């Protein structure tokens, strides 16, 4: 949600200016990871433009979020080492 709102609400204000829609963040609390956004506008086109802009920001921000899991795979087996050497030589 922080990517949609932006620092000092700059991103959300930018979406409003570019699309002409009005955006209101509902249930906004610092400790929450998610919130709802109410989108209103003069036409379906305006609301749709804001919706797709928000959706695009959410999709692209997934790569920049905090990491929540770590996976460790053992690669010291003889079979994996031989396969790696074979891969490296080709």
17 pLDDT more than 60: yes
26 pLDDT more than 90: no
Q: Is residue 82 part of a domain?
A: no
CATH code, domain with 14: 3.30.1370.10
Residue 32 belongs to what domain range? 1-61
> What is the chain's mean pLDDT, rounded?
84
Q: Is residue 80 part of a domain?
A: no
Domain count for the chain, please give it.
1
- Cα–Cα distance measured from residue 79 to residue 68, given in angstroms and rounded to the nearest whole number: 30
Q: Is residue 85 part of a domain?
A: no
Name the pairing type of β-strands 36-40 and 22-26: antiparallel
90 pLDDT more than 80: yes
29 pLDDT more than 70: no
Say if CB 36 and CB 62 are below 8 A apart.
no
What local confidence, expressed as pLDDT, does residue 66 receive? 67
């Amino acid at each position: 949600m922080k990517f949609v709102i932006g620092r000092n609400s700059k991103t959300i204000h930018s979406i409003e200016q570019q699309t002409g829609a009005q955006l209101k963040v509902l249930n906004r609390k610092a400790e929450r990871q998610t919130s709802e956004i109410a989108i209103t506008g003069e036409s379906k086109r305006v609301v749709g433009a804001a919706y797709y802009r928000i959706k695009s920001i959410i999709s692209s921000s997934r790569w920049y979020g905090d990491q929540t899991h770590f996976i460790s795979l053992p690669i010291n087996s003889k079979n994996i080492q031989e396969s790696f050497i074979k891969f490296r030589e080709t």
